[in-house]
Amino acid sequence: MAQSGPLRTHPLDEQLCFGLYAASRAMVGHYRPALDALGLTYPQYLVMLVLWERGEATVTAIGSALQLETGTLSPLLKRLEATGYVARRRQEADERSVLVSLTPAGRDLEGRIPEMQAGARQATGLTDDEIAHLREVLQSLTTTLRASRSGVGVSP
Give the total number of structural domains in the chain.
Answer: 1
Whether residue 70 is contained in a domain is answered as yes
Contact 103, 86 (CB under 8 A): yes
130: in domain? yes
- Element housing 130 (H / E): helix 128-147
pLDDT tens digit sequence for 8-23: 678 888 899 999 999 9
CB atoms closer than 10 angstroms to residue 109 = 20
Can you tell me whether residue 58 is helix, strand or coil?
strand
Residue 154 pLDDT > 90: no
- The predicted model scores a pTM of 0.84
In a domain, 10, yes or no: no
Q: Residue 4: its pLDDT value, please?
A: 63
pLDDT, tens digit (0-9, with 9 covering 90-100), for 57-92: 999 999 999 999 989 999 999 999 999 999 999 877
Whether 156 is in a domain gets the answer no
CA–CA dist 52, 101 (Å, integer): 9
Using 50, 70 and 90 to split pLDDT, how confident is the model at 96?
Answer: confident
CATH classification of the domain holding 56? 1.10.10.10
What pLDDT was estimated at residue 11?
A: 87
Measured distance CA(156)–CA(95) in Å, rounded: 44
Contact between 47 and 73 under an 8 Å Cβ cutoff? The reply is yes
**Within a domain: residue 104?**
yes
Residue 2 lies in a domain: no
Residue 124 sits in which domain range? 15-141
On whether residue 66 sits in a domain, the answer given is yes
Cβ atoms of residues 86 and 106 within 8 Å: yes
H helices, E strands: number in the chain = 7, 3
Kindly state whether residue 3 falls inside one of the protein's structural domains. Answer: no
**pLDDT at position 156 over 90:** no
What is the identity of the amino acid at 54? R
* Nearest in space to 38 (alpha carbons), one of 132, 111, 88, 87: 111
